[in-house]
Chains A and B, each alone.
Chain A
Amino acid sequence: MIRKSFFLFIFSFVLTTSFPVYAQVNAEEILATVLKRSAEVKSFEADVSIDVDVDFIRIPVKKGRVFYKAPEKFRFRATGFVLVPKKGMNFSVMEMLNKKNTAIYVGADDINHMLKIVPMTDESEFVIASVWVDKAKKRINKMDVTTNGQGNYIMEFTYGTMQYDLPETTKVTFDIQQVDIPLKFIGNLKVDQKKAGERSKGSVSLVYSNYKVNGEIPDTVFDETIEN
């Protein structure tokens, strides 16, 4: 009897440990949890500073205020001219993940679950995305997106102590094409012909502060015709 019980124990131990742990983790569930938590943010406004690091663009660090209202209203306001990265704002990521996708669990490190997101629609702007989701906090720490013809971009998020999953810093690293601006009177841009048209890496760092989440933001804020 003891012998039988011992073999049964060994069998069940082998059975439960012979498959990788992550095989038991449901990627769709993780993604759903992330999206559910992000959906708690209906609107927000925050101060943001934007630091652009592209080798052929020199622009000082710009400060402004960003406004967002679900599902897709966005406005950046600042004095002067600002380059705001199209990709990598927190809500644009959520908008992307909210579309019809398939999530596949591919592994984990000490801190994150690692998922692959494959879009299930033809119109999708991306081909595949790797997403690192914090195991404990269930929020996205990093994302590597391969787009449909516009190269790769990587987003890295750090968070503060807020109850909402809104980042304190975001760093977006992207591919950017060397520009060849065809005008003389606005300067004398000497584009390296070897580099012209080539894609090179650039990055933008955004630092957010003074968040005001789920407050009332009038629609007029998002009106393009209103001057900064």
Chain B
Amino acid sequence: MGTLIRLEFQKLFRRGMTYIGFIAILLIVLIIQIGMFVEGQKLLDFLIKSLSDVFLLEGKLINNYTVSYIILNSLWIHIPILVAIVAGDMVSGEAGRGTFRLLLVRPVSRTKLLTAKYIAAQAYAAMLVVFLMIMSLGVGRLFFDNGDMIVLMNTINIFDESDVMWRFLAAFAYGAISMWVVSGLAFTFSSIASNSLGPVVGSMSVLIVFTIMSNFSIGIFNVIKPFLFTTYLNGWQLFFDDPVEWDKVIGATLIMMFHITALYFLSLWIFTKKDITT
């Protein structure tokens, strides 16, 4: 099994498309960081102007943590696309390249092969999240000092510098789990299709439709909402509320873990039943 996973990683990193995600994150994060470095303080001063009627605002809120939070908020919609591009190609890519039959004549069970691919896809999603974390919190340190962070949740929360890092680590961990759901979805589509485009477009379509439904606060959608995984994708923000609503965090994590497992078994079921013709 270890060899299979290693081979999947080798295949994964030989493909140029694997690096698209990393390059996109690198560029976008750098652009935001440079932009915030140049204009960030002015922007924030304008936004919290209403507080300046009553308070003198001392100290800098544009710092590494605030900018990292802005990056997370800006990028969280786009990371799923980058995850889906690779996860959607994991199985269907083999079919598209015509290497499946060659692969399956070897003494490897379909279950083991698919499991190795699923693990590689999920590891890739986690790598993207870790890369985003390194870029935002690590590289951001080259531009900004650390400091207190402002977050607008139900209230204006200003967190002390010492109270921020664990929130980021928890948010990124949660983010990795939510990306595993997206990756699992794209992977499931990938196990059905025989070209890479279909699973990517399919999973993105599901994501868009579900996100729209999750954001509607009317009638029938309110009933469906708790069952849609998209309702929980933004849950990383819960760690920046004060106090953190742990029951919501745990509930959302369990639901997403259920999705990840269910999608794995669904793709396994599809793949083992599938007639390999390419």
Chain A interfacial positions (CB closer than 8 Å to B): 55-60, 64, 76-87, 150, 174, 176-177, 179-190, 202, 228
A83 to B47 alpha-carbon distance, docked (Å): 15
Q: Indicate which residue in A81, A174, A183, A184 contacts B54 across the interface (CB closer than 8 Å).
A: A174
The answer to whether B73 and A56 have CB atoms under 8 Å apart is no
A56-B156, A174-B54 known, 13 other contacts, Cβ within 8 Å: A56-B155, A57-B51, A58-B242, A60-B160, A76-B56, A77-B58, A84-B58, A85-B54, A181-B47, A186-B151, A187-B151, A187-B152, A187-B237
Chain B residue nearest in CB terms to A77: B58
Chain B interfacial positions (CB closer than 8 Å to A): 47-48, 50-51, 53-61, 66, 69-70, 73-74, 147-148, 150-161, 163, 237, 240, 242
The answer to whether B51 and A80 have CB atoms under 8 Å apart is no
Known contacts A186-B47, A187-B73, A187-B151: A85-B55 contact under CB 8 Å: yes
A170 CB → nearest B CB, Å: 14
Across the interface, which residues of A come within 8 angstroms of B151, CB to CB? 186-187
B52 CB → nearest A CB, Å: 8
Question: B interface, by DSSP: helix, strand, loop or mixed?
Answer: mixed
Known contacts A58-B242, A80-B160: A177-B237 contact under CB 8 Å: no
Q: List 12 A-B contacts (CB under 8 A).
A: A58-B155, A64-B58, A80-B160, A81-B59, A82-B58, A84-B56, A181-B156, A185-B74, A186-B73, A186-B152, A187-B152, A228-B58
The answer to whether A179 and B50 have CB atoms under 8 Å apart is yes
Interchain residue pairs A-B with the least CB separation, the first 6: A187-B152, A189-B152, A81-B59, A80-B148, A83-B55, A59-B158
A85 to B154 alpha-carbon distance, docked (Å): 23
Q: Indicate which residue in B47, B160, B161, B237 contacts A188 across the interface (CB closer than 8 Å).
A: B237
Q: Indicate which residue in A81, A174, A177, A189 contacts B60 across the interface (CB closer than 8 Å).
A: A81
The answer to whether A57 and B54 have CB atoms under 8 Å apart is no
Across the interface, which residues of B come within 8 angstroms of A84, CB to CB? 55-58
A115 to B151 alpha-carbon distance, docked (Å): 43
The answer to whether A86 and B58 have CB atoms under 8 Å apart is no
Chain B residue nearest in CB terms to A74: B56
A176 to B53 alpha-carbon distance, docked (Å): 8
The answer to whether A188 and B148 have CB atoms under 8 Å apart is no
A68 CB → nearest B CB, Å: 13
The answer to whether B56 and A81 have CB atoms under 8 Å apart is no
Across the interface, which residues of A come within 8 angstroms of B150, CB to CB? 81, 186
Across the interface, which residues of B come within 8 angstroms of A59, CB to CB? 157-158
Q: Indicate which residue in A79, A81, A183, A185 contacts B61 across the interface (CB closer than 8 Å).
A: A81
A130 to B69 alpha-carbon distance, docked (Å): 45
Chain A residue nearest in CB terms to B71: A185
A179 to B159 alpha-carbon distance, docked (Å): 18
A205 CB → nearest B CB, Å: 14
A16 to B77 alpha-carbon distance, docked (Å): 83
Known contacts A60-B163, A81-B59: A179-B51 contact under CB 8 Å: yes
Across the interface, which residues of B come within 8 angstroms of A80, CB to CB? 59, 147-148, 160-161
Chain A residue nearest in CB terms to B44: A186
Q: Indicate which residue in A87, A180, A184, A188 contacts B153 across the interface (CB closer than 8 Å).
A: A188
B149 CB → nearest A CB, Å: 9
The answer to whether A228 and B153 have CB atoms under 8 Å apart is no
The answer to whether B59 and A181 have CB atoms under 8 Å apart is no
The answer to whether A58 and B50 have CB atoms under 8 Å apart is no
Across the interface, which residues of A come within 8 angstroms of B242, CB to CB? 58
The answer to whether B53 and A177 have CB atoms under 8 Å apart is yes
Across the interface, which residues of B come within 8 angstroms of A188, CB to CB? 152-153, 237
Residue among A84, A177, A188 having the largest count of chain B Cβ atoms under 10 Å: A188
Known contacts A80-B161, A181-B47, A181-B48: A189-B156 contact under CB 8 Å: yes
The answer to whether A81 and B154 have CB atoms under 8 Å apart is no
The answer to whether A228 and B59 have CB atoms under 8 Å apart is yes
A186 to B160 alpha-carbon distance, docked (Å): 16
The answer to whether A150 and B53 have CB atoms under 8 Å apart is yes
Known contacts A189-B152, A189-B153: A81-B58 contact under CB 8 Å: yes
